[in-house]
Amino acid sequence: MAAAAEQQQQQQQQGFRPLDEASLVAYIKATPALAARLGGSLDALTIKEVGDGNLNFVYIVLSDAGSVVIKQALPYIRCVGDSWPMTRERAYFEASALQKHRGLCPDHVPEVYHFDRAMSLIGMRYIEPPHIILRKGLIAGVEYPLLAEHMADYMAKTLFFTSLLYNSTTDHKKGVAQYCDNVEMCRLTEQVVFSDPYMLAKYNRCTSPFLDNDAAAVREDAELKLEIAELKSMFIERAQALLHGDLHTGSIMVTPDSTQVIDPEFAFYGPMGYDIGAFLGNLILAYFSQDGHADQANDRKAYKKWILKTIEDSWNLFHKKFVELWNKHKDGNGEAYLPPIYNSSELLRLAQKKYMTSLFHDSLGFGSAKMIRRIVGIAHVEDFESIEDASKRASCERRALNCAKAILKGRRQFESIGQVIVHVQSFDRD
Ligand X SMILES: Nc1ncnc2c1ncn2[C@@H]1O[C@H](COP(=O)(O)OP(=O)(O)O)[C@@H](O)[C@H]1O
User: Which of 124/381 has CB closer to ligand X?
Assistant: 124
58 binds, among Mg ion, a second copy, ligand X, none (CB under 5 to 8 A by kind): ligand X
User: Which of 102/172 has CB closer to a second copy?
Assistant: 172
Q: Which strand (E) or helix (H) includes residue 102?
A: helix 90-104
Give yes or no for residue 53 binding Mg ion (CB under 5 A).
yes
Task: Specify which residues 72 forms β-bridges with.
Answer: 57, 121
Q: Are 154 and 318 a contacting pair, CB within 8 Å?
A: no
Edge-first strand order for the sheet with 57-62 is: 46-49, 57-62, 67-72, 121-124, 112-116
Residues at the interface with a second copy (CB under 8 A): 164, 169-170, 172-174, 176-177, 180-181, 183-184, 186-187, 190, 195, 198-201, 222, 225-226, 229-230, 232-233, 236-240, 335-338, 340-343, 346-347, 350-351, 354-355
Q: Are 296 and 387 a contacting pair, CB within 8 Å?
A: no
Q: How near is the Cβ of 337 to a second copy at its closest, in Å?
A: 6
User: Which of 50/199 has CB closer to a second copy?
Assistant: 199
Q: How many residues bind ligand X (CB under 6 A)?
A: 20
What residue number has its CB nearest to ligand X? 53
199 binds, among Mg ion, ligand X, a second copy, none (CB under 5 to 8 A by kind): a second copy
* Measured distance CA(274)–CA(279) in Å, rounded: 9
Give yes or no for residue 55 binding Mg ion (CB under 5 A).
yes
Q: How far is CA 362 from CA 167, 234, 249, 278, 367, in A?
A: 22, 9, 19, 11, 8
SS3 of residue 143 by DSSP: coil
Short-list 42, 52, 61, CA closest to 123: 61
Give yes or no for residue 417 binding Mg ion (CB under 5 A).
no
User: Which of these segments, 1-9, 47-55, 166-174, 295-303, binds ligand X (CB under 6 A)?
Assistant: 47-55
User: Which of 71/321 has CB closer to Mg ion?
Assistant: 71
Q: How near is the Cβ of 250 to ligand X at its closest, in Å?
A: 6
126 binds, among a second copy, ligand X, Mg ion, none (CB under 5 to 8 A by kind): ligand X
Short-list 124, 65, 68, CA closest to 91: 124
What angle is formed at CA 127 by the lines to CA 110 and CA 240, rounded to 5 degrees?
35
Dihedral sign for Cα atoms in the order 266, 214, 411, 287:
negative
* Measured distance CA(240)–CA(358) in Å, rounded: 13
Binding pattern for the stretch 223-262 against ligand X, x by CB under 6 A and - elsewhere: ----------------------------x----------x
* Measured distance CA(325)–CA(241) in Å, rounded: 15
Give yes or no for residue 54 binding ligand X (CB under 6 A).
yes
User: Which of 157/380 has CB closer to Mg ion?
Assistant: 380
Of the candidates 34, 86, 127, 317, which one interacts with ligand X according to CB under 6 A?
127
Q: How near is the Cβ of 404 to a second copy at its closest, in Å?
A: 17
Would you give the distance in Å from CA 270 to the centre of its chain? 13
Q: How near is the Cβ of 173 to a second copy at its closest, in Å?
A: 4
Parallel, antiparallel, or unpaired: how do β-strands 132-133 and 241-243 relate? Answer: unpaired
Give yes or no for residue 87 binding ligand X (CB under 6 A).
no
SS3 of residue 414 by DSSP: coil
Q: How near is the Cβ of 238 to a second copy at its closest, in Å?
A: 5
* Measured distance CA(155)–CA(210) in Å, rounded: 37
Binding positions for ligand X, rule: CB under 6 A: 50-56, 58, 69, 71, 110, 124-127, 133, 251, 262-263, 265
